[in-house]
Amino acid sequence: MIEAFPLTWPDGFKRTKFPRGSRFEKRDLSISKTTKEVIYQLKLLGGTNVIISTNLRLKIDGLPYSQQKQPDDRGVAVWFTLNGNQRVLACDEWRSIEENLWAIGKTIDAMRGIDRWGVSDMLDRMFTGFLALPSKPHWKYILDLPEKCSFDDAKRSYLQKAKENHPDKGGNPETMTDLNEAFESAKKEFGIRS
């Protein structure tokens, strides 16, 4: 399930190990401005059902609050529907969420240019590479944990569920694989080394 919070990064999309500083005019960038720009550009492109997924807390309208401390993971994934197909653009190249949102907005603007310049079949072919792949649920969902939980909570839940779902005890191997992956993600998020 695609969530606006926490970040739902698309499966198969590589992550940037060392984000860098952009050359964008930073004094003009804000969460509010860059979010509006992405939504505006998608509207002009014909995109609908927009979900801007980040690790920022959300307002009631589902969009991120401005003036928050930057989370550790500053990636952004923008999920939307275009011509009946779910698409996603994701960016974690830059050091702030605002910069990553701005980069996505500028990318959509460039795609609109391709469409405006009469080469829309190229846009369709290009977007084939951006088809949204199914995303796995966040590890907290798999382990039935609330948003605020500790590593000990994750470990306790994992051990209990593993005991119940282990294939040697008659459990489903796929469920056990999901549990193992969820626990590994929890360890990674909490900085626990195996």
> In a structure prediction context, what are the per-residue pLDDT tens digits for the chain, which is 194 residues long?
788 899 999 888 889 989 988 877 766 789 999 999 999 999 999 999 999 999 999 999 888 988 889 999 999 999 999 888 888 999 999 999 999 999 999 999 998 888 777 776 666 666 665 555 555 678 888 888 887 889 999 999 999 999 888 888 888 888 888 889 889 888 888 888 86
| Sign, CA torsion 19/21/22/24 | positive
Q: Is residue 137 within 8 Å of 64, Cβ to Cβ? A: no
Q: Is residue 43 within 8 Å of 35, Cβ to Cβ? A: no
Q: Which two tokens stand for residue 90?
A: 């994701």
Reference 24, options 108, 147, 106; nearest CA is: 106
Q: Which residues pair with 94 in a beta bridge?
A: 20
pLDDT value at position 11? 85
Query: pTM score, two decimals?
Result: 0.64
